[in-house]
Amino acid sequence: MRGLTFYVLRQTLLVMLSVCLIFSFAVWLIQALRLIDLIVNRGLSFVVFLHLAILILPRFINVVLPIAVFVAVLFVYNKLITESELVVMRAAGVSPMALARPALLTGIIGTLLLYSFSLYLLPAATRAFKDLQFEVRNRFASVLIQDGVFNTISDKMMVYVKSRDDAGELISLLVYDERQPDKPVTVFAERGAIANTPEGPRLLLVNGTRQQRDVASGRLSVLTFDKYTLELSALTDAPGTRDRQVDERRTSELVSGMGPNEEPDWRHAVLVELNMRLAGPLAALAMAALPVACLLTGEFNRRGQGRRVLMAVLGALGIELVDIALRNLAARSNIALPLVYTNLLLPFAASLWLMWREGVSRPRRRHVAVPAE
């Protein structure tokens, strides 16, 4: 019995891993391509781009893994039926619960992996991604400056760049600097570049003019220059720290954030996020039990299992759609939170009951007397 369990379990785990990697990589690649704009048009380094791309990967694995469990169990068990291996196992007296054991173990392994992502890895990756994104938006001046638009770096400076050359230099710049409200400055330059120095980013300008107007007297002074430097490090008005959202808080922080002194809206957001982290991984159990309940119960059909496979696919699709609807409803009302657990645990419990009933009723059918002709 252990040999049969290990034989089927090895196949389901291999397919689950393959499907999870393929689906996650495909979705990750599509999402990562959106970040290429940071390199091509905004001058961000490849290392920062790669860091951002890797940090979004756990989010896709967390979504894809339950689907991978379902696909793996459905594919392997349908293959075993098609090749008559399960027929032989049944004829040898193996009960439906014993046949379903590898699928359930696959679901348990998927659930444990999902809990590791949901409770620790995903919040940590989300927190690191948003921290780096915050750093990019508020510290990398080269990312802020885009071609052909008026870039408002802060409420005190605006920069317009006509284009960039192949070397990344800025062509035809217009800078409006209002850091001294009583003496605003307008700078025109033929070329420019962003330089990241230990003191902060700087805008280097070449061949241009600097016009400063005295608001009190209305006097305009003009200065022609070959080289000019603007400090950008103190321009951003963004705070040094930011408020973390509930999806990037550690699970321990969510538990401690349920105190009575917190605001009601915050307590509700924390309660929903905490329950989503606890309920989400249970989808792997439901997705593992549903296919075996459809394929292992009832009489064997030599014409194929197309209807049962379709039934399993529609059941999984229904569970996912209801789960999405209940999650959206839970964000507005706590009443939906128990329904989220019910939607995931009820198919699992129903599948176990169907296989148990099949195991109980089958011996009775096997010993039914056949009248002699």
Please indicate, yes or no, whether residues 177 and 205 belong to a single structural domain of this protein: yes
**What is the spatial distance between Cα 151 and Cα 160, in angstroms, rounded to a whole number?**
6
Where a domain ends, among 180, 205, 231? 231
Q: What is the mean pLDDT of residues 87-91?
A: 79
Please indicate, yes or no, whether residues 44 and 88 belong to a single structural domain of this protein: yes
Q: Does some domain include residue 267?
A: yes
Least confident of 29-33, 97-101, 217-221, 309-313: 29-33
Give me the pLDDT at residue 95, please: 80
Identify the band that residue 238 occupies on the pLDDT scale cut at 50, 70 and 90: very low
Please indicate, yes or no, whether residues 126 and 259 belong to a single structural domain of this protein: yes
Q: Does some domain include residue 144?
A: no
Please indicate, yes or no, whether residues 194 and 68 belong to a single structural domain of this protein: no
The CA–CA distances, whole Å, from 260 to 154, 174, 226, 228, 263 equal: 39, 53, 63, 57, 8
Q: To the nearest whole number, what is the mean pLDDT of the chain? A: 81
More confident residue, 135 or 324: 324
Residue-wise pLDDT tens digits, 255-278? 876 655 667 778 888 888 899 999
Residues in CB range of 208: below 8 A, 6 or more apart? 173, 187, 188, 189, 190, 224, 225, 228
Please indicate, yes or no, whether residues 45 and 108 belong to a single structural domain of this protein: yes
CA dihedral sign, ordered 58, 60, 65, 71: negative
Please indicate, yes or no, whether residues 162 and 121 belong to a single structural domain of this protein: no
Give me the pLDDT at residue 258, please: 65
pTM for the structure as a whole: 0.71
Total domain count, the chain: 2
Please indicate, yes or no, whether residues 128 and 160 belong to a single structural domain of this protein: no
Q: Does some domain include residue 148?
A: no
More confident residue, 286 or 97: 286
Q: Does some domain include residue 239?
A: no
Please indicate, yes or no, whether residues 132 and 215 belong to a single structural domain of this protein: no
3-state secondary structure the chain: CHHHHHHHHHHHHHHHHHHHHHHHHHHHHHHHHHHHHHHHCCCCCHHHHHHHHHHCHHHHHHHHHHHHHHHHHHHHHHHHHHCCHHHHHHHCCCCHHHHHHHHHHHHHHHHHHHHHHHHHHHHHHHHHHHHHHHHHHHHCHHHHCCECCEEEEECCEEEEEEEECCCCCEEEEEEEECCCCCCCEEEEEEEEEEEEECCEEEEEEEEEEEEEECCCCCCEEEEEEEEEEEECCCCCCCCCCCCCCHHHCCHHHHHHCCCCCCCHHHHHHHHHHHHHHHHHHHHHHHHHHHHHHHHHCCCCCCCCCHHHHHHHHHHHHHHHHHHHHHHHHHCCCCCHHHHHHHHHHHHHHHHHHHHHHHHHHHHHHHCCCCCCC
Give the pair of three-digit tokens for residue 311: 């039934």
Please indicate, yes or no, whether residues 106 and 254 belong to a single structural domain of this protein: yes
Please indicate, yes or no, whether residues 27 and 127 belong to a single structural domain of this protein: yes
Q: Does some domain include residue 368?
A: no
Please indicate, yes or no, whether residues 118 and 198 belong to a single structural domain of this protein: no
pLDDT at 121 over 60: yes
Domain that holds residue 196: 156-231
Give the pair of three-digit tokens for residue 155: 């409420």
